[in-house]
Structure 1
Amino acid sequence: MPSQLINCRTGYGTTLDKPKQPLSFAADVLGYPIAIDFSQLDTMKGKLVGQKIIRFSDLSGKTVDDEDIVRVIVTQHPDLEGGPVELEALADELSDVEDSALDLVTFELYFPGEEEPDQLIMELDKFNALATDAPMPEIIKGATKVSRSAMSPRSGLVAAKARPDYASLEHAGKPHKGKTQDAEKKLVQEHLDEINERLKADGLRMIDLSNADHVARYGLETLAMERTKATS
């Protein structure tokens, strides 16, 4: 969160002779929490001769000195929307981060008939445990190298795209690999007819309340019973 230089003038450009606020107050300016100290205000001449900008840690809310600020760029997080974000924190707040960091493996799954790969992250030990014929490090070293620039749709590998958010009305109910999350189940349960209309328009399979797999996948047991009674 970059610091902001606060000009203590009114919106009409006139100098504040005396602040109506206490000598020190906190404010939120352009989305950045700051504090302004008016203790340097020369009340005799009505001129601001100095000001103090206080910055806060995004993690704890504690005040941060410039020499102790650590910039934290969050590149991946389930709640991220629209790209990476920047946070500011105290160095002491992050002292144990590197020791707590996990060894992770990022990989993609290209299933037959799927245009987009599933992008997954696993802990290193769990990923290595998938190898049963030989140690995973040996398999990785002997595996075929893949160049992103050399990929083409004909090769069966396509450039990775952002995975659809199945917990949204735009994508809920679409066929996909992996576990169906509670958020997607809830959307399907509450908007089944609307979702089925979209699926039909997109040429995808619709969710069938008479299909046991569909009912179990989206938790539609109650809805299936209600509609069965309504039609009987």
Structure 2
Amino acid sequence: MGKKTIHVSDFTGQLLGPDDEVVKVVVLEHPDLVAGPVQLDATPVEVENIDDAALDVAVVEIHDRHGGGEPRRVVLTASEFDTMATDVPMAQLLRTAERVRPPKARRSPEKVDYGTIDHAGKPHRGRVTEEEARLVREHLDEVNKRLADAGIRQVDPVDPEHAARYGFPAAD
């Protein structure tokens, strides 16, 4: 048994042939959109006038006590927003206004402490502290069981690299 896939325009229901160009339209925001962005398929003809229909809008965030600590996002026509500036024209106000810097991205949620029994012996590029080495030497079976359960290489005290890294006596 075989399967046959047919493509139709999401806007008009028009059947799209195998050689027809399909335009992907991603809806980012819409009052009826409840579960995040969606993708719609269309023909080039169906979306050719979309730029002509586009509105000049201003998207603003309102940071006040009514948002419960979260800003409210508001979309309004640019001309409606422009009328809010009564002292100087909005274009001038926007050129001279204070810039907002985006929040700095965090490197990592938290640093791993290899000097604890939960992380001692895990491979890492940093320097092995005396505390980590002591934990590995004193709790080798427990450390190796945890590493094996996680699918990570185990610490081998006869391996010259591991012996040097964790302070095991050199093998004769």
When normalised by structure 2's length, the TM-score is: 0.55
Partner of 1:67: 20
Does 2:100 match 1:146?
yes
Unaligned segments of structure 2, at least 5 residues: 105-172
Amino acid in structure 1 at the alignment position of 2:25:
V
1:70-90 CA-to-partner distances (Å, cap 9, x unmatched) read 101111011112211111011
| CA shift for structure 1 position 112 | 3.7
For residue 81 of structure 1, the aligned residue among 31, 34, 39 is 34
Instruction: Quote the Cα distance in structure 1 between the aligned partners of 2:91 and 2:37.
Output: 31
Q: CA deviation at 1:8?
A: 1.9
1:137 maps onto 2:91 in alignment: yes
Query: Structure 1: which 5+ runs fail to align?
Result: 1-6, 10-35, 37-52, 151-232
Percent identity, aligned pairs only, is 32
Q: State the 1:67 CA deviation.
A: 3.4
Which AA in structure 2 matches 1:75? L
For 2:26 and 2:59, locate their aligned partners in 1 and report how far apart those are by CA, in whole Å. Answer: 19
Larger radius of gyration: 2
**Aligned Cα RMSD in Å?**
2.1
Deviations 1:17-57 (A, max 9, x none): xxxxxxxxxxxxxxxxxxx4xxxxxxxxxxxxxxxx43100
TM-score in terms of structure 1 length: 0.41
Return the offset for 1:68.
2.2
1:119 CA drift (Å): 0.7
Match of 2:2 among 5, 8, 17: 8
SS in 2 for 1:67: coil
Return the alpha-carbon distance in structure 2 between the equivalents of residues 149 and 117 of structure 1: 14
Q: Deviations over 1:180-200 (max 9, x none)?
A: xxxxxxxxxxxxxxxxxxxxx
Match of residue 128 from structure 1: 82
Amino acid at match of 1:63: L
Of structures 1 and 2, the one with the larger relative CO (CA 8 A, separation 6+) is 2
Q: Which residue of 2 aligns with 1:209?
A: none
Which residue identity is paired with 1:110?
Answer: H
Paired residues in the alignment total 103
Match of 2:48 among 75, 85, 95: 95
More strand per residue:
1
Q: Does 1:111 align with 2:64?
A: yes
Q: CA deviation at 1:91?
A: 1.0
Point out 4+ residue stretches in structure 1 off by more than 3 angstroms.
none
